[in-house]
C-alpha cells in the first residue's frame, strides 16, 4: 500500500503545466483544466488504464496513411462563454490568439478527410555487443535501438470553416481526439498537451512563426471528444509529397519515358532539389522557433510537416508548417526544476542514461533529441522523393543508417553509390561539395553534445547557399 508521500509523488508524475496566462480565452482554460482534473481523477481512483505511452517514445514520428471512413455523427455541447479579458494583450490584427473561438456554433464541419495513428517506440535499449557493432550500451550519449509499434489513439481530421463572426468563411481543419470511452485517458492528455503547447507558442510577444500550424479554437462535444480547430494551410504532408513524387518516377520509368527536351531531366532534378530544400528549411525554422521558446516537438517526421502545395514548380510559394504538438515538452528551467511530467518522464530517463543530469544538460539533450529526429526527416526527404516507389522508406532508411552503418554517413554513401536506384539521392546530397552529407552527419552524430541546434541547421550552407 502506498504511503501518503508516495501517493503524492505518484500524482505529481502526471502533472503538466497550464497554458501561459493570458494566452487563450477562459472557456479554453476550462477545457484544459477539465481534462487535467479528469486525468487526475482517473489516476486517483484507478478506474481507467494508466497512460503508459510517453511522448518521448515517438522518435520515428511517422503517422499511418490516411484511411477514409464513414463520417460519424456527433453532438455539440452548449455554447461556452468566450472571454474577452485577454484580447487587449494580443494584437487585434492577429487572427490566431486574439480570436480563439470556443463555441461549436461558430464552426461548420465538412467532410472527413482521413484519420491517422501515431507510431510509438515500444522499447528503447542499448546495442548488444557483437563483432559488427561499434557502440555499446555503456557509451554515454550514444545511439540506442528502437522498436516501433502502433499507438492506441486514432486522430480524425475534418474539413470545416468559421461560420460566423469577423472571420466568417475562414477554412479550418478539425483535429478530433476520441473520448475516454474510445481511447481512455491517453487521448485527453494528448489533447490537453497540444492545446497547452499551441496556446503558449501563440502568446509570444515576438509574433507567431509562419512555420507553425495556427490554432484558431476548440471545444468538447457531449461524447467527450476534443475538437481542435486549426487554420487550413494545406491538406498535404511531406510524406504525401514524397509518395507522390516517387510514384511519378516509377510511372515514368515503367513506361520508359524520355523527356522530349534533353535538358528537361536536369531541370526536373533542380526543381525537386529546390522544393526539398525549401521544405526542410521551413520545417527547421519552425523547430528553431519552438526551441527558442522552450518547447520540444518530440514527434517530428514527414507526416508532421504540412504543405500548402506539392507542385514542384510552385516551390517559391511553399510554406511548410509543423503540426502534431501533442507530445511537446516544456524545457524551461522552471519546468526542469519541478521534475518530470507525463510527457517528459521517459525523455529525462534517457537523458540520465546518456549522462545528462543537470537542468542545463537535460535541456541540451532534449533539443539534441529533436535534432536527431529532424536528421532522420532530412534523410527521408533526401532519398524517398528521388527514388522509385518502394525502393526506400523511412523505416528501411533508419535501419540502414543506424543498424547497418552505425551512423557512419560516408560509409552509407559508398553503399548507395553501388545501387543505381539510389544515385539520384546521392547526387542530391553531393551538391555543394557533399554539403548534404556533411549536414546529415552532424544531425545524426551519435554524441548528442555534438549535434547542431535547429537554427544552425536552418542556416547551413546546404540550405542557404546556391548549391545548384
CATH number at 80 reads 3.30.200.20
pLDDT of residue 307: 98
Q: Which three cell numbers stand for residue 230?
A: 486549426
Q: Residue 227: which H helix or E strand, with range?
A: strand 226-231
Q: Which of 300, 274, 278 is nearest to 287 (CA)?
A: 300
259 and 165 housed in the same domain: no
Q: Residue 179: which H helix or E strand, with range?
A: none
- Alpha-carbon distance of 277 to 125, in angstroms, equals 33
First to last CA, the chain: 66
Quick one: average pLDDT of 214-223?
A: 92
Residue 404 resides in a domain: yes
- Total number of domains in the chain: 2
Alpha carbon separation from 348 to 186, 352, 371, 372 (Å, rounded): 20, 6, 16, 16
207 and 304 housed in the same domain: no
Least confident interval from 21-35, 93-107, 343-357 = 21-35
pLDDT of residue 25: 54
245 and 183 housed in the same domain: no
Quick one: average pLDDT of 37-58?
A: 36
224 and 244 housed in the same domain: no
Predicted TM-score (pTM) of the model is 0.75
CB-count exposure of residue 163 (10 Å: 0-12, 13-18, 19+): middle
Among candidate residues 231, 254, 287, the one where a domain is terminated: 231
Q: pLDDT digit string (tens) for 138-193?
A: 343 444 433 434 456 888 999 999 999 888 999 999 999 998 777 678 888 999 99
Residue 6 resides in a domain: no
- How far, rounded to the nearest angstrom, does the alpha carbon of residue 338 sit from its chain's CA centroid? 25
pLDDT of residue 114: 83
293 and 188 housed in the same domain: no
pLDDT of residue 168: 93
Domain ranges, residue 188: 15-231
pLDDT of residue 253: 84
Which of the listed ranges 69-78, 145-154, 215-224, 382-391 does the model predict with the highest average pLDDT?
382-391
Residue 3 resides in a domain: no
Q: pLDDT digit string (tens) for 52-79?
A: 233 332 233 333 232 223 333 333 333 3
pLDDT of 235 above 50: yes
383 and 279 housed in the same domain: yes
pLDDT of residue 28: 58
Tell me which of 430 and 81 has the higher pLDDT: 430
275 and 225 housed in the same domain: no
223 and 260 housed in the same domain: no
247 and 208 housed in the same domain: no
Among candidate residues 200, 231, 262, the one where a domain is terminated: 231
CATH code of the domain containing 293 = 1.10.510.10
Residue 5 resides in a domain: no
Residue 65 resides in a domain: yes
Phi, psi of 115 (to 5 degrees): -145, 155
220 and 247 housed in the same domain: no
The strands making up 145-162's β-sheet, listed across from edge to edge, are 107-125, 145-162, 171-177, 226-231, 215-220
Residue 199 resides in a domain: yes
Among candidate residues 212, 231, 250, the one where a domain is terminated: 231
> Is the separation of the CB atoms in 95 and 214 below 8 Å?
yes
Residue 32: pLDDT band with limits 50, 70, 90: low
Residue 151 resides in a domain: yes
Residue 9 resides in a domain: no
pLDDT of 130 above 90: no
164 and 207 housed in the same domain: yes
258 and 278 housed in the same domain: yes
Q: Which of 361, 302, 350 is nearest to 144 (CA)?
A: 350
Amino acid at each position: 500500500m502506498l504511503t501518503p508521500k508516495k501517493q503524492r509523488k505518484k500524482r505529481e508524475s502526471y502533472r503538466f503545466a497550464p497554458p501561459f496566462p493570458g494566452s487563450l480565452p477562459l472557456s479554453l482554460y476550462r477545457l484544459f483544466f477539465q481534462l487535467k482534473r479528469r486525468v487526475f481523477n482517473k489516476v486517483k481512483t484507478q478506474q481507467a488504464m494508466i497512460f503508459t505511452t510517453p511522448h518521448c517514445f515517438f522518435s520515428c514520428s511517422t503517422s499511418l496513411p490516411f484511411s477514409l471512413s464513414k463520417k460519424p455523427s456527433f453532438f455539440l455541447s452548449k455554447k461556452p462563454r468566450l472571454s474577452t479579458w485577454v484580447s487587449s494583450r494580443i494584437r487585434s490584427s492577429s487572427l490566431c490568439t486574439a480570436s480563439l473561438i470556443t463555441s461549436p456554433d461558430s464552426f461548420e464541419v465538412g467532410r472527413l478527410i482521413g484519420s491517422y495513428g501515431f507510431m510509438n517506440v515500444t522499447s528503447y535499449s542499448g546495442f548488444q555487443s557483437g563483432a559488427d557493432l561499434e557502440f555499446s550500451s555503456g557509451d554515454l550519449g550514444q545511439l540506442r535501438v528502437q522498436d516501433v509499434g502502433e499507438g492506441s489513439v486514432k486522430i480524425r481530421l475534418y474539413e470545416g470553416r468559421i461560420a460566423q463572426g469577423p472571420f466568417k468563411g475562414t477554412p479550418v481543419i478539425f483535429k478530433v481526439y476520441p473520448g475516454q470511452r474510445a481511447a481512455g485517458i491517453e487521448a485527453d492528455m494528448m489533447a490537453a498537451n497540444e492545446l497547452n503547447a499551441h496556446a503558449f507558442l501563440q502568446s509570444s510577444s515576438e509574433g507567431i512563426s509562419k512555420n507553425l500550424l495556427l490554432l484558431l479554437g476548440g471545444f468538447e462535444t457531449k461524447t467527450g471528444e476534443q475538437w481542435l480547430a486549426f487554420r487550413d494551410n494545406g491538406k498535404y504532408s511531406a510524406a504525401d509529397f514524397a509518395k507522390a513524387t516517387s510514384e511519378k518516377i516509377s510511372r515514368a520509368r515503367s513506361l520508359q519515358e524520355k523527356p522530349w527536351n534533353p535538358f528537361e531531366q536536369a531541370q526536373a532534378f533542380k526543381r525537386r532539389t529546390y522544393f526539398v530544400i525549401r521544405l526542410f528549411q521551413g520545417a527547421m525554422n519552425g523547430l528553431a522557433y519552438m526551441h527558442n521558446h522552450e518547447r520540444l516537438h518530440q514527434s517530428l517526421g514527414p507526416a508532421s510537416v504540412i504543405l500548402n502545395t506539392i507542385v514542384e514548380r510552385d516551390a517559391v510559394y511553399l510554406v511548410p508548417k509543423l503540426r502534431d504538438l501533442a507530445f511537446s515538452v516544456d524545457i524551461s528551467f522552471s519546468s526542469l526544476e519541478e521534475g518530470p511530467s507525463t510527457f517528459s518522464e521517459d525523455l529525462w530517463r534517457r537523458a540520465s542514461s546518456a549522462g545528462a543530469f543537470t537542468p542545463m544538460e537535460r535541456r541540451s539533450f532534449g533539443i539534441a533529441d529533436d535534432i536527431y529526429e529532424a536528421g532522420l526527416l532530412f534523410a527521408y526527404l533526401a532519398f524517398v522523393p528521388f527514388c522509385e516507389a518502394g525502393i526506400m522508406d523511412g523505416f528501411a532508411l533508419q535501419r540502414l543508417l543506424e543498424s547497418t552503418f552505425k551512423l557512419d554517413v560516408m560509409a552509407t554513401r559508398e553503399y548507395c553509390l553501388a545501387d543505381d536506384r539510389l544515385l539520384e539521392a546521392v547526387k542530391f546530397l553531393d551538391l555543394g561539395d557533399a554539403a548534404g552529407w556533411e549536414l546529415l552527419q552532424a544531425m545524426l552524430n551519435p554524441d548528442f553534445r555534438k549535434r547542431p541546434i535547429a537554427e544552425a541547421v536552418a542556416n547551413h550552407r546546404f540550405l542557404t547557399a546556391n548549391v545548384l
